[in-house]
Structure 1
């Protein structure tokens, strides 16, 4: 849903991450609506002064393109870490889960939802501290969980059951989804992954306990 670039903010003289959101629409009214959603979400996250939520510094709109300027976290995601060095230890996994719960509590208190909590959307700082990132999918999501092309938005194996069925997702959905990333980084693979997308959706909807 976006491309993240390493950039430099000249005024405060600091490195930043600049995420260009890919907002594809069919008409001007739809384009304005989809621009408004990520702006609203980014503003909500920017109000969360939390050490485990990525910092949002600025929003830039230029020629109908939207950029979110964020804190630069120079570290891998747990998803990348396990491909390089193998699964995390149970102790590290438990600590990661607690950090995610703490971060989501702050996000929900600010009136935002993440809706796509997965190992790839968490970054590990050099001291292995964790930061929750990428709120873009929640911002670009339609009310029924579909894109303009009729496709589900998000990662099927980490999608909460409410989004699979088109039900209303809330803070409880985000908290429920926190269980899958620790299971993935500790076990080395997602417990919901199946060879085909429909089988993964069935697993998430009717067998959410794994």
Structure 2
């Protein structure tokens, strides 16, 4: 399995294997046990909660992902997973079309990322379910996209807690900055 050339802060992110064929863990369950034991070796109750969370993240659909990282800062609680995916740059907009239904107008911001010709981040609140009233639950969504050498690198994270996802943005920006866009382009274009 080819690994994406990504440099991450191990004090902020844990790489989630997408395929266990060439990993040291047999499967997602074994990886989740390892992560939980490493994270909280002296707290069996908390370790079980982290194991269950890790297993759920490892079993998420990864068909579009090139890499997945779990936001697990040394100085905070574990958060959501962030998927990295690659696409050929077709010259259209950098970010994909926003969701059809949003609670408020999405906030799109250009970001400066070394090694990329252009980059942007969008934050959205998307209503969950079919409810049309103002009390529907929301899903907070942050999307990043950066283009270089004919490819677009995209990242996406979601959470039911907008405040928690807001705290992830700085670390997400840093993860995007840790990508080697040109090496990723060579992976895609051969």
TM-score by length of 1: 0.23
Higher strand proportion: 2
Higher helix proportion: 1
TM-score by length of 2: 0.25
